[in-house]
Amino acid sequence: MAKKESTLLSMFLALFLVTLISATILGFVYEFTKDAIAASRAAKQTEALKKVLPPFNNNPVQEMYKKAVDGDTLYFFPAREDSALVGIAVNTFSPKGFSGMIRIMVGFLPDGTIKDVAVLEHKETPGLGEKMVRNKSNWSVQFQGKNPKTYRLAVKKDGGDVDAITASTISSRAFCDALERAYKYLTEGGAK
Amino acid sequence: MNQWKNFSKGLIAENAIFVQVLGMCPTLGTTTSAYNGLGMGLATTFVLVMSNIVVSLVRNYIPDKVRIPSFIVIIASFVTVVELTMQAYLPALFEELGLFIPLIVVNCLVLGRAEAFASKNTVWSSTLDGLGMGLGFTLALFMLGSVREILGSGSWFGLKFIQGDGMLLFVLAPGAFLALAYLIAIMNKFNRKNA
Domain boundaries, chain B: 3-189
Total domains, chain A: 1
Contacts of A42 in chain B (CB under 8 A): none
B88-134 pLDDT tens trace: 888 878 877 777 788 888 888 888 888 888 888 888 889 999 999 99
B77 touches chain A (CB under 8 A): yes
CA distances for B108 relative to A41, A53, A170, B66, angstroms:
32, 47, 35, 18
B137-184 pLDDT tens trace: 999 999 999 998 888 877 788 777 777 677 778 877 888 898 899 988
Residue A65: domain span: 51-188
| Nearest by CB: A4 against B62, B77, B89 | B62
Q: Does pLDDT of A53 surpass 90?
A: no
Q: Would you tell me which residues 122-181 of chain A have a C-beta closer than 8 angstroms to some C-beta of chain B?
A: 123, 125-128, 167
B76 touches chain A (CB under 8 A): yes
**Is residue A44 in some structural domain?**
no
**Is residue A31 in some structural domain?**
no
**Is residue A113 in some structural domain?**
yes
pLDDT classification of A192: cutoffs 50, 70, 90: very low
A28 touches chain B (CB under 8 A): no
Cβ distance of B66 and A40 shorter than 8 Å: no
Reported ipTM: 0.71
